[in-house]
Amino acid sequence: MAEKNSTDVIPELSNVEDLSADDLINAAYPDLKRMARRQLRKESGQAFQTTELVNEAVIRWLNGRQSAHSALAWMAIMAKVMRNVLVDEARSRHAQKRGNNPQKITININTEFADEASSAFEILDLESALVQLHALDARKAEVIECHYFGGMKVKEMATHFAVGEATIKRDLITARAWIGSQINP
């Protein structure tokens, strides 16, 4: 069975600003679960079940209530929120086990544009590299977030960022290489 695009279940959400939070979450819940499932498959040493990750991300979004102008933009926001949940969990684990050989959480950001040999990173290292990349080139960092954490396809990201698909592919290749060089110098 082919994996659905991030907005397959919520095509009616062309104007997410007009929906209540409950309606938006209910309509997007299957997509959010797919996003979380895809993310958790890439992570070793995971602390969350799919539903737990979705629920925690929704709670955090509700507390911050960042608005979006489209379904793609909202899914990008939710991808970032899920990433923050996982990073916070990794930091918490690291702090609890500091000095006693802390368990490291490894993630794989292998994409169709990356070589598999150098695509596994610890989530805290990836977070640090993404923060640095965001300061240098925000779009490239956001493309990695949308693709890796949000599961967005190249075509969806091209629409979201209002650039061509070739630009998104170049951004993925460049950002992936830059992250690798920062983590494994």
Q: What is the pTM of this model?
A: 0.66
The Cα 36–Cα 33 span in angstroms is 5
The tens place of each residue's pLDDT in the chain, 185 residues long, gives 444 444 444 444 556 666 788 888 888 899 999 988 888 877 666 678 889 999 999 999 988 877 777 888 888 889 889 988 988 887 777 666 555 554 555 555 554 444 333 344 577 788 889 999 999 999 999 999 888 888 889 999 999 899 999 999 999 999 989 988 888 76
DSSP string covering 108-168:
E---TTS-GGG-EEEHHHHHHHHHHHHHH-HHHHHHHIIIIIT---HHHHHHHHTS-HHHH
